[in-house]
């Protein structure tokens, strides 16, 4: 069984994907980390993120790089959204994601194009969303809790810019697959959102 969880930043898709992985006993891949790892290598090697061929050259990295906590910063997320718009970068990361999805027993993957491109035949597809303001508030309180002084306006602006870039790119844009169930977490607690996701998944298997 393949479970595809897509949606924008801070929608709750990561938390939901991890909970589904535990509930169904399936391995989980956060595919955003792959693009973040590429972004980090671009930064570390001082490459120009707009030069597609240069970015493609750093797409072949070892799995252990995915465990680096530095991948989780907003800076890496922002740059990930720039490098992920290059078609050849997406192509370079495609087989890795498909192999993970197709392992015996199944898997849970979360990202932007899992239900549409990586695993179009997934048994369960969820598209998780929340309003931009609510996502900005979630991200803002997380950042504040870690000592950041960033304003809510700045966080909201960054979220809108990233949504725009991810939804407007020509290659594998972020969108809800025609056969995906929509889960709006705007007014749901984490627990309620997870319960709803488990219910939607169970109804589809």
Q: Can residue 112 be called a binding residue for ligand C5P (CB under 6 A)? A: yes
Nearer to ligand C5P, 56 or 202 (CB): 56
Contact flag: residue 162 with ligand C5P (CB under 6 A): yes
Q: Which of 11, 21, 40, 81 binds ligand C5P (CB under 6 A)?
A: 81
Work out which of 37, 101, 113, 194 binds ligand C5P, going by CB under 6 A: 113
Window of 20-28, 59-67, 107-115, 122-130 that interacts with ligand C5P by CB under 6 A: 107-115
Assess 9 for contact with ligand C5P (CB under 6 A).
Answer: yes
Report if residue 40 touches ligand C5P, rule: CB under 6 A: no
Written as six digits, the tokens of 128 are 């998780």
The answer to whether the beta carbons of residues 12 and 133 sit under 8 Å apart is no
Nearer to ligand C5P, 103 or 199 (CB): 103
Q: Using CB under 6 A, count the residues that bind ligand C5P.
A: 14
* 80 annotated ligand binder: no
Provide φ and ψ at 191, rounded to 5°.
Answer: -60, -45
7: annotated binding-site residue? Answer: yes
Cα–Cα distance measured from residue 117 to residue 126, given in angstroms and rounded to the nearest whole number: 14
SS3 sequence, the chain? CEEEEECCCCCCHHHHHHHHHHHHCCCEEECHHHHHHHHHHHHHCCCCCCCHHHHHCCCCCCHHHHHCHHHHCHHHHHHHHHHCCCHHHHHHHHHHHHHHHCCCCCEEEEECCHHHHHCCCCCEEEEEECCHHHHHHHHHHHHHHCCCCCCHHHHHHHHHHHHHHHHHCCCCCCCCCCCCEEEECCCCCHHHHHHHHHHHHHHCC
Out of 16, 20, 24, 32, point to the residue binding ligand C5P (CB under 6 A). 32
Using CB under 6 A as the binding rule, whether residue 196 contacts ligand C5P is answered as no
Is 129 labelled as part of a ligand binding site? no
Q: Quick check: 106 binds ligand C5P (CB under 6 A)?
A: no
* Minimum gap (Å) between residue 119 Cβ and ligand C5P: 11
**Is residue 125 annotated as involved in ligand binding?**
no
Binding site for ligand C5P (CB under 6 A): 9, 31-32, 35-36, 77, 80-81, 84, 111-113, 162, 166
């Amino acid at each position: 069984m393949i479970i595809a969880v897509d949606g924008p930043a801070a929608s709750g898709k990561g938390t939901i994907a991890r909970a589904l992985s535990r509930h169904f006993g399936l391995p989980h891949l956060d595919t955003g980390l792959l693009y973040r790892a590429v972004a980090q290598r671009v930064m570390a090697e001082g490459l120009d993120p707009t030069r597609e061929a240069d970015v493609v050259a750093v797409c072949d990295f070892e799995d252990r790089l995915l465990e680096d906590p530095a991948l989780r910063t907003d800076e890496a997320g922002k740059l990930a959204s720039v490098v992920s718009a290059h078609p050849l970068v997406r192509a370079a990361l495609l087989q890795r994601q498909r192999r993970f999805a197709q392992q015996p027993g199944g898997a849970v993957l979360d990202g932007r194009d899992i239900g549409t491109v990586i695993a179009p035949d997934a048994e369960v597809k969820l598209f998780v969303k929340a309003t931009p303001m609510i996502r900005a508030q979630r991200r803002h309180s997380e950042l504040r809790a870690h000592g950041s002084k960033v304003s809510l306006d700045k966080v909201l602006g960054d979220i809108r810019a990233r949504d725009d870039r991810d939804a407007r790119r020509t290659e594998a844009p972020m969108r809800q697959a025609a056969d995906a169930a929509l889960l709006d977490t705007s007014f749901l607690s984490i627990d309620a959102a997870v319960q709803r996701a488990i219910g939607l998944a169970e109804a589809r298997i």
